[in-house]
Amino acid sequence: MDLARKILFVSVLLHVSTFASFIKVCQNCHGKNFEKRALGRSRIVKNLKKEEIVERLNYFKTSNSIMKSYASSLSKKQISLVANVFGK
């Protein structure tokens, strides 16, 4: 493997592990693939459209929802990652 490929490979791994770590807390309530109703009352996130996930997470940042602190800790980039990986 040449150096350029190695660098690419490592940076992909790092990104994946960062993603896995910030998403862990979400999975406690939403399920591994966002397939559950969090606390029995959220909608099933994996059935939402990408744009809807982005919209909801931005909304929660200034809401009274239980989601407020979780959404507030996410960067724009992390929100778009969640939407792209789990949304429809």
The DSSP symbol for 59 reads H
| Token digits of residue 74 | 């996410």
Q: Which residue, 6 or 37, has its beta carbon nearer to ligand HEC?
A: 37
Q: Which amino acid, one-letter code, is at 11?
A: S
Q: Which residue, 7 or 85, has its beta carbon nearer to ligand HEC?
A: 85
> Collapsing DSSP states into helix, strand and coil, what is residue 13?
helix
CA atoms of 74 and 80, how far apart (whole Å): 10
Name the minimum Å distance from CB 41 to ligand HEC. 5
* Interactions with ligand HEC, residue window 12-71 (CB under 6 A): 25-26, 28-30, 38-39, 41-43, 45, 53, 56-57, 65-67, 70
